[in-house]
A and B are shown apart, each in its own frame.
Chain A
């Protein structure tokens, strides 16, 4: 069975808040859901499938679905970290294709900023049942230095430079200046990225994404329903998932599961990387983008640094317009999970509803890719390819 053409993204909504000290996480889930349903022109009572990840309060889908008083016949709480929401779209398409639901609602919400969470720089022990905990936590493993070690190895093997990494942030900032909701709207230069304080070598503060409260939601439905709505038609034509692990001690930090999830999505969609007009690429850190662009096949392994340099990711300037909302680096990284906003901006591009300054003219084919967890050693990887018809 293929999901090609079986499901449409009919509703997409990014919560406008970036700091929500006075709202609960549940409220943010419900507000995001309401926004996506209104965007689609559907109501809560049309929803018969619900998806969220394991971070939602109350064991997966239970408390959120109860809070919103949904009546469901299909649920899925797959958690692959920040990539979960791309997997949810693919799983929703599978469920729709199999007749398990007609209208799938996917939500994400969280408040790491209000809760004062040092998302990237604090070592967290996690569940003591995790078998790796005793062999990682005492050494001060954080999100940031885990990704930094991948960056160091990439520099060592391929000659990637800090200047090249900085170009990823520069491109994101060029886009964010046009997004009134973005957390960081100032355009920055390569020099400013390199002059920002070092967090963990070689990653500077401006190589790291923002920490934001908020959330987002998506509505996925079957063709007959999508065609009855008043929104442009955005169809899912390819999807791939490939988590990657540490190889029993023989891990390779230079590539991610995107090598496999991307290949699967391109094969299902029947298109090539060169055909893609717009790409949402997970940008927890600048290095994340470089490695994923290689793994997805936009350039050869090791050439990602050169590929992203000199504005090649800037809409209207470069060959691969990316993260035209400003991405996680400048706009939003709600709940420390950037996969949701990756899909939302790709939908905006395909509808022609991105900001006019960053809209890709005639955008009919877009890719969204997410990673989640610890890059290259224990991480989720999910790729979606969508088209406007």
Chain B
């Protein structure tokens, strides 16, 4: 079977640090210094309290599958998912390196980093 190829993500002034860390196999998430809450996707302005005092925190990298779907109508079928991180936020991702038929909601997963077409890396998840 052909390998799934990941497009290079769009990098913005708000997300440069995230993608730099991903190249070093580190998953960053944002936390607000004012209200203390995590959020996803990363923003400069906190979506919970609108404070501009948000900071990058390295996530533990563990999570559970909140929901998923196996896209079969694609050149290379793939499993898209929302993973709930240990820190509480739910992020979109792919579940990789496992038989798709075995994927379950609630399953424990662990982050890993897949190379993108342009030389970057993208956080994906594998069964823990």
Contacts and interface: CB of A to CB of B under 8 A. Distances in A.
Interface stretch (A34-42, A243-251, A306-314): A243-251
Interface in B48-75: 48, 66-74
A151 B80 CA distance: 13
A304 to B, nearest CB: 17
B92 to A, nearest CB: 5
Interface residues of B, number: 44
B67 A150 contact: yes
Contact of A134 (B11, B68, B72): B11
Given A139-B80, A249-B39, A134 B10 contact: yes
A135, A151, A253: most-surrounded residue (chain B CB, <10 A): A135
A200 B47 contact: no
B20 interface: no
Interface in A142-178: 142, 144-145, 148-153, 156
Contacts of B105: 152-153, 156
Given A121-B73, A200-B71, A251 B41 contact: no
A288 to B, nearest CB: 15
B67 A135 contact: no
Given A133-B10, A135-B92, A141-B80, A249 B41 contact: yes
A199 B39 CA distance: 31
Nearest to B44: A131
Interface residues of A, number: 38
Given A125-B7, A140-B74, 6 more contacts: A132-B41, A137-B7, A149-B69, A152-B105, A156-B106, A203-B69
5 closest A-B pairs by beta carbon, nearest first, are A249-B40, A249-B89, A248-B47, A148-B69, A134-B9
27 contacts: A121-B74, A128-B12, A134-B10, A134-B15, A134-B41, A135-B42, A135-B91, A138-B116, A139-B80, A149-B67, A149-B81, A149-B82, A151-B69, A152-B68, A152-B105, A153-B67, A153-B105, A198-B73, A199-B71, A200-B71, A201-B70, A248-B47, A249-B38, A249-B41, A249-B90, A250-B88, A253-B67
